[in-house]
Amino acid sequence: MNATASARHGVESAYAWARLMVSLALMTIGGVGMYGASVVLPAVQRDFGAVRADASFPYTLTLIGFGIGGILMGRLADRFGVMVVALIGAAGLGLGLAAAGASSSLWQFTLAHGLLIGLLGVSATFAPLVADTSLWFTRRRGIAVAICMSGNYLAGAVWPPVMQHFIDSAGWRATYFGLAIFCVLTMAPLALFLRRPAPVTAVQAGASATVMKSARFLGRSDPAHPLGQTPRRLQMLLCVAGVSCCVAMSMPQVHIVAYCTDLGFGAAQGAQMLSLMMAAGIASRLLSGWVSDHIGGLRTLMLGSVLQGVALLLFLPFDGLVPLYVVSGLFGLFQGGIVPSYALIVREYFTPKEAGARVGTVLMATLLGMALGGWLSGAIFDWTGSYRAAFVNGIAWNLVNVGIVGFLLYRVRQSQRFTGHWS
């Protein structure tokens, strides 16, 4: 490749930004597989005559497949390129949505979500795209990755009202068949745009920038004993925190449509609230990236966790239509930056050579938390006949997360006193 072509398709070139927009589009389209199970929950429960916990399980299995598939798709992307993975995602979503729409029982619907939609579909449109984006940017890598990761929330803003419209007019099965065709027809051409491999200069610059950034943060903590913990213990604490915050996070995200239906407002209003929640999450995700550059990942995580707890508390006294719209918007605005904070914390307190595996492990813990919380909230509803106890359960899990983050912040202050450095 000559110098002119290299510049035209190099790091932070116009092509790199166009590639970012394609990745954003792929993540937004692929996200339909994650949010679809929440939107169709009332219709599926009614169609199959299931209890709320069983009707919530497809979402749970989708998240489990999403988490496991992220590791698989990451390895495939490293070996064969992100274009191949995106094509696999298009096929997985197409087959999975069609199979779910044709299912004659709840277990068939659940397996289609877990194995095809989650494991092969949604997983291909998240972590591999984020990793690929990071290779095409150096100076603007933070905002580029934030934009890319916002596709997950953009999907939550776009798809619920669109799906609910077609569910009301054509039924959930026809909606799933239509989405299967749409995903294949749109994702396959977009995937072909990603066929160009990252330039060697981008990979080298990315490695250099990571080392420099890690060295800056590692000055605050001994990488052999980060925050006075063994690396394994700190990893475990972050995983427990990730599960806890996301069990709490999943309650409104998974059950807001069903909750509104139970209150008599209708599924359409619930889908709109979920859309509002995710749209606010986009703004939160971008804003939290800027905040974390000034106060660090741990403090950003604490801020988001405390505010998420406040929003969950507000769901208890306010169950009118307008107040629920307001609280849903606040919830999205408060929690959008929580999950990215874990990746920043790993970068701050672990060595660069361990960052990839440790980030993947912590993000899998957050997905497992979402999966567990989605099912658990439905089970609590079945046990109590109300979502009130489910909200209280979410608040309790959120307190566990705040406690762990508070302990780690205490360790930061101890480290600062010992070393004489301030973060």
Q: What band does 84 get if pLDDT is binned at 50, 70 and 90?
A: very high
Give 210-418's CATH code, choosing from 3.40.30.10, 3.40.630.40, 3.10.580.10, 1.20.1250.20. Answer: 1.20.1250.20
The CA distances from residue 385 to 23, 24, 314, in Å, are 42, 40, 20
Q: Which of 36-50, 64-78, 172-186, 308-322 has the lowest mean pLDDT?
A: 64-78
**Binning pLDDT at 50, 70 and 90, where does residue 352 land?**
low
Same fold, 10-192 and 210-418: yes
Whole-angstrom Cα distance, residue 256 to residue 154?
A: 17
Question: Residue 227's pLDDT is what?
Answer: 73
- Give the CATH H-level superfamily of domain 10-192: MFS general substrate transporter like domains (1.20.1250.20)
Residue 219 confidence (pLDDT): 39
CA–CA distance, 358 with 347 (Å, rounded to integer): 9
pLDDT, one tens digit per residue, over 171-198 is 999 999 999 999 999 999 999 999 998 7
221 falls in which pLDDT band (50, 70, 90)? Answer: low
Bigger pLDDT: 332 or 344? Answer: 332
Q: What pLDDT is stored for residue 142 in this prediction?
A: 64
Residue spans of beta strands (DSSP E) within 258-376: none
Distance separating alpha carbons of residues 117 and 119, to the nearest angstrom: 6
* pLDDT at 31 > cutoff 80: yes
- Give the amino acid at 377: S
Residue pair 344/146 in contact by the 8 Å Cβ criterion:
no
Q: State yes or no: pLDDT of 107 exceeds 50.
A: yes
Percent of the chain with pLDDT over 90: 50
Cβ atoms of 239 and 362 within 8 Å: the answer is yes
- In whole angstroms, give the CA distance from residue 349 to residue 226: 6
Q: How many CB atoms lie within 10 A of CB 276?
A: 24
> For residue range 254-296, what is the model confidence (pLDDT) as tens digits?
899 889 999 999 888 998 998 899 889 888 888 887 787 778 7
Q: What's the confidence (pLDDT) of residue 388?
A: 93
Residue 203's pLDDT is 46
Q: Write the DSSP string, 36-53.
A: HHHHTHHHHHHHHT--HH
**Ranges of each domain in the chain:** 10-192, 210-418
Q: The tokens of 133 are what?
A: 């984006």
User: Is 374 within 8 Å of 254 (Cβ atoms)?
Assistant: yes
pLDDT of residue 415: 66
The model's confidence at residue 216, banded by pLDDT at 50, 70 and 90, is very low
What local confidence, expressed as pLDDT, does residue 214 receive?
Answer: 41
pLDDT exceeds 80 at position 251: yes
Query: Is the pLDDT higher at 205 or at 165?
Result: 165
